[in-house]
Amino acid sequence: MIQHVENPVLEIHDLTVTYNKKPVLWGIDLTLPAGSLVGIIGPNGAGKSTLIKSVMGLVPSGSGYVRVFDKTLDESRGRISYVPQRESVDWDFPASALDIVLMGRYGKLGLFKRPRKADYEVAEDCLRKVGMEGFKNRQISQLSGGQQQRVFLARALAQEADLYFMDEPFAGVDASTEKAIIQLLREMTQKGKTVIVVHHDLQSATKYFNWIILLNMRLVASGPVETAFTEALLQETYGGKLTLLSDVSDLVQKNQFPSREK
């Protein structure tokens, strides 16, 4: 069940990703409509994070291409934002919450330019949107997990992008933060922004998203939540791990095979 759309925000064409020579994603082919709130869902090790990292060019792809707003990735950098997993950085870094949010402005500022007054105002406004205005001068290690996640979100907001990638933004956050974040994401998509979220929890998936991508090393489904989030497809994603596929992956890695004949 893979539904394609006209004028996609994001087009992934036949994307294959290898990790240490081991194929982790096979031939992903999908398109996403503007203004959707997309959930990428699949079991552990399905390659959910790898998919978005590869789309953003953080992980090299073996084959295929990605087009964002019908342009190449590098032409669209200014319109893309990223919320990495919270554990991916060292929170003991000497910086305040406001310092981190200001980093969201760096792409717009360009090299060598210092943040201007307007950038500070945008950053503070973004902190307010995530309910963290009272913590702007707090050292980031003294924030709770949920607060740190909010700071990351504020940093992405400060970028004023059109396409957002978020890697497990609900992992390890308190219930009120989760509620605040999803509320914010909905408002963003209502304004025509597209948000793609790597998500772990099946329970909340139908409530949160209007577009679902089911992933388990290969693309199982991509479409509106009503058509893509069905029991049969979930069964295929979670129950039916293709043993043969992972065996071949292991074999490719063991023999150091190239992922494509050149």
Partner 1 sequence: MESFIEFFSFTNPNVRYVTLGCILLSVSSAVVGSFTFLKKRALVGDAVAHSVLPGVCLAFILSGTKNPVYLIIGAFITAWISLLFIDLVTKRSKIKEDTAISITLSVFFGLGIMLLTMIQHSGNASQSGLDSFLFGKAAALIGTDLYVFGGVAFILLFVVGLFFKEFTLIAFDTHFAQVIGLPVKRIEFVLTTLTVLAVVVGIQAVGVVLMAAMLITPPAAARFWTDSLRKMLVIAACLGAFAGLSGAYISYIAPSMPTGPWIVMVISFIAVLSFLLAPQKGILFKWLKQRKIRQTILEENILKAFFLLGEREKNFYQTLGIERILEKRHFPLGALKKTLPILRFQGYLKKVGNEWQLTQAGFHKGQRVVKLHRLWELYLTEYLHIAPDHVHDDAETIEHIISPEIEKQLEKKLNYPTLDPHQSEIPYR
Interacting residues toward partner 1 by CB under 8 A: 53, 56-58, 74, 77-78, 80-82, 84, 88-90, 93-96, 99-100, 103-104, 106-107, 109, 111-115, 139, 155, 159, 165
Least CB distance to partner 1 at residue 12 (A): 16
* HSE-up (13 A, CA, CB side) for residue 92: 0
Burial 162-198 (b: 16+ CB within 10 A, else e): bbbbbbbbbbebeeebbebbbebbeebbeeebbbbbb
Least CB distance to partner 1 at residue 82 (A): 4
Least CB distance to partner 1 at residue 4 (A): 25
DSSP 43-77: -TTSSHHHHHHHHTTSS--SEEEEEETTB-TGGGG
**SS3 assignment for 118-159:** HHHHHHHHHHHHCCCHHHCCCEHHHCCHHHHHHHHHHHHHHC
Least CB distance to partner 1 at residue 191 (A): 20
Distance of CA 16 to the CA centre of its chain: 18
Nearer to partner 1, 153 or 234 (CB): 153
Nearer to partner 1, 141 or 183 (CB): 141
Query: How far apart are alpha carbons 208 and 197 in whole angstroms?
Result: 10
Query: How far apart are alpha carbons 214 and 60 in whole angstroms?
Result: 22
Handedness of CA 150, 155, 156, 159 (dihedral sign): positive
Nearer to partner 1, 26 or 82 (CB): 82
Nearer to partner 1, 103 or 242 (CB): 103
Nearer to partner 1, 2 or 95 (CB): 95
Least CB distance to partner 1 at residue 246 (A): 22
Least CB distance to partner 1 at residue 158 (A): 10
Nearer to partner 1, 15 or 98 (CB): 98
Residue whose token pair is 């291409």:
65
